[in-house]
Amino acid sequence: MPSISIPSFFKTPFRPNNFNPRLLLLFVSPMASSTKVTVEYAKSGRSSCKKCDEKIAAKSVRLGLVSKHPQGFDQTKWHHLDCFPFSSDFVSSVENITGFSSLQIKDKEALEKLINKEIPTLLKASDADSDKIDRKQKGTCAPEDSEHELSKQKRLKLSATEEEPVLEIAFSTSDVRVTYKDATLLPKWRAFQTIIYLEQDDGLHASSKIAAFDFDGCLANTSVKRVGADAWALMYPSIPEKLQSLYNDGYKLVIFTNESNIERWKKSRQAAVDSKIGRLEQFIKVVGVPIQVFIACGLSKIKPEDPFRKPKTGMWNIMKKQFNSGVPIDLDESFYVGDAAGRQGDHSDADIRFAQTVCISWYA
C-alpha cells in the first residue's frame, strides 16, 4: 500500500483523564492579529450571515470580520448589523471600521448608536470574566490548562473569501432511492441525486457541534489501485479513541467524502459502491461510535459543477437542513479535518475550500 501522510490532527498524544478532546486541535496556525472590521452595502442577496445563517438582503448594511489567512489572502465573515459579534479588541469606535465613510447618514447613525451601546457592555463583561479566570487559575487551574486556553484563542478560523451563489437543493423523500443508478445499496444506505448517505447509524444524535472529516487519506489509508471492502487501514492507531472522546463530548461525527469512481465505473458500479460503503461500514465498526456519512459520487470536470462534490457544500447543506433534527449548528464550535489543502503533494485543495465556504475551522 502506498505511503500516505498522516494528518497532524491524529499525531497529538491522547490523554483521556484530564484532556478535552477539542484541545487536540490546537496545533494549527493562529489567526492573524490584524483582524479588522469592514462595512458595506451587500452587493447581492447571496451572502449569508455567519451567526444566524440567514441571507443578507442586497443593498442592506453588512458588517464583516476580515482577517489575513497564512497563505496571504483576506478572508471575510459577513454578518447582519444586529448579529455582528462586537468586541472591543478590534472595534472601539466607528473610526476603526473600514468603509464607514461611504455609508449614508442614517446608516452611519445606526451603526454608531449600536457601537456606543455594545462596547461598554462588553468591557464590563470582559472585566468580570477576567476576574473569574484569575481567581480560578490561582485556585485550581494547572499550568497545562492555562497554556491550552491561550492556544485555543489562537485557533485558525477560516471563512469564504468570495461570495458564491448558494444552490438551494429541494430534498424530498420521494426522490430517495435504495439504489444508486444500477447499483444496489446495503441496508440503511440511501441515494439522493448524486450522493449516497447512511440513513441512520444506531446511537447517532443531533448536535450543534459538528466534528466533520474526510475519509480517504484522513481517517483511512486507502489506495485508488486497490478495490474491496477490506482494502483499507486506520490512518493512525489513536483515531478510535479520539473519535470516541469527541462523541462523548457531545459532537456529532460526520464524514464527507468524494468518490467519483461510483459514477465513472459504469460497467463496475456495483463493485465501486460495495468497496466504498464496505470500507466505511468496517471503519465505523472499528472505531465503535456512530457516524453520519455522505458520499459525493459526482464527477469533478462537468458543467454545471456537481453541487455535492467538495469543495461545493451540498453535502453540508443537506446534513444541516435534513439530517440534524432542526438543531442549529454552531459554526464556532464545529470543525472539519481533511488532507486536501492545495499544498505541494496534495491531490487538490477541496478540503480547505470546503471548510472556508462553510465557515468552520479546518485542520489537517
Q: What are the pLDDT tens digits along the chain (364 aa)?
A: 444 444 556 654 433 333 333 333 333 333 333 568 888 998 888 788 877 778 888 889 998 887 765 555 667 888 888 888 765 445 667 777 888 888 898 888 888 887 777 655 544 444 444 444 344 444 433 333 443 443 333 334 443 344 455 556 788 889 999 999 999 999 999 999 999 999 777 889 999 999 999 999 999 999 877 889 999 999 999 999 999 999 999 999 999 999 999 999 999 999 999 999 999 999 999 999 999 999 999 987 777 889 999 999 999 999 999 999 999 999 999 999 999 888 877 888 999 999 999 999 998 7
Could you give the CA distance from residue 38 to residue 25 in angstroms, rounded to a whole number? 29
C-alpha cell at 43: 452587493
Could you give the CA distance from residue 97 to residue 93 in angstroms, rounded to a whole number? 8
Could you give the CA distance from residue 338 to residue 255 in angstroms, rounded to a whole number? 10
36 pairs with which residues across the strands?
66
Please give the single-letter amino acid code of residue 284: I
292 pairs with which residues across the strands?
254
The whole-number pLDDT of residue 22 equals: 38
Report the chain's C-alpha Rg in angstroms: 22
What are the DSSP calls for 172-206, one per residue? -GGG-BSEETTEEPPTTEEEETTEEEE---TT---
Could you give the CA distance from residue 292 to residue 204 in angstroms, rounded to a whole number? 7
Produce one character per residue of 50-70: b if its CB has 16 or more CB atoms within 10 Å, e if not.
bbeeebbeeeebbbbbbbebe
192 pairs with which residues across the strands?
195
Produce one character per residue of 12-23: b if its CB has 16 or more CB atoms within 10 Å, e if not.
eebeeeebebbb
Could you give the CA distance from residue 43 to residue 356 in angstroms, rounded to a whole number? 20
DSSP-derived letter for residue 289 is S
DSSP-derived letter for residue 80 is E
Contact 326, 320 (CB under 8 A): no
